[in-house]
């Protein structure tokens, strides 16, 4: 067995485990009056093909398309729970714009900082 798959999958699992998802699970469960742990398990299983789709979109079409897909799934989630409001849609769109800007700026800025650190500190 290739241990790289295990180690890298574990690293990915740590990225997936985030406070936003836990918080959304709690909110959705509370809104529906259901067990949050069961929602977390079933939602996690349902999310596997969606995460795979997101990876495909990112690799094939780039971060911009993946962010648009994420916005659409956020809106679908709000519609499914009956919590969608126009203001929510606007907030999600604005957050997506800031994420896209952050991805672009982080990429360029980290390259710039790496060049400076390498040039002045790691000779």
Domain count, the chain: 2
pLDDT tens digits for 72-102? 888 888 888 787 888 887 888 888 888 888 8
Spatial CA neighbour of 66 closest among 79, 78, 56: 56
Same domain, yes or no, for 71 and 23?
A: no
Q: Residue 93: its pLDDT value, please?
A: 83
**Residues spanned by the domain of 34:** 1-61
pTM (2 d.p.): 0.70
Same domain, yes or no, for 33 and 69?
A: no
Same domain, yes or no, for 46 and 69?
A: no
Same domain, yes or no, for 27 and 44?
A: yes
Same domain, yes or no, for 39 and 67?
A: no
Q: Compute CA distances 66 → 33, 54, 85, 101, whole Å.
A: 31, 6, 23, 14
Q: Residue 121: its pLDDT value, please?
A: 85
Q: Which residues of the chain have pLDDT under 50?
A: none
Question: What CA–CA distance (Å, rounded) separates 96 from 106?
Answer: 15
In a domain, 80, yes or no: no
Same domain, yes or no, for 8 and 53?
A: yes
CB 88 within 8 A of CB 100: no
């Amino acid at each position: 067995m290739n241990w790289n798959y295990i180690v890298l999958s574990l690293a990915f699992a740590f990225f997936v485990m985030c406070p936003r998802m836990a918080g959304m699970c709690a909110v959705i469960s509370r809104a529906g009056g259901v067990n949050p742990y069961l929602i977390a398990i079933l939602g996690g299983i349902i999310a596997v093909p969606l995460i795979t789709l997101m990876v495909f979109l990112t690799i094939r079409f780039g971060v911009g398309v993946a962010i648009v897909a994420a916005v659409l799934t956020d809106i679908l989630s709000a519609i499914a729970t009956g919590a969608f409001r126009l203001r929510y849609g606007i907030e999600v769109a604005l957050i997506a714009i800031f994420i896209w800007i952050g991805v672009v700026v982080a990429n360029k800025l980290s390259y710039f900082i790496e060049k400076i650190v390498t040039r002045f500190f790691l000779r």
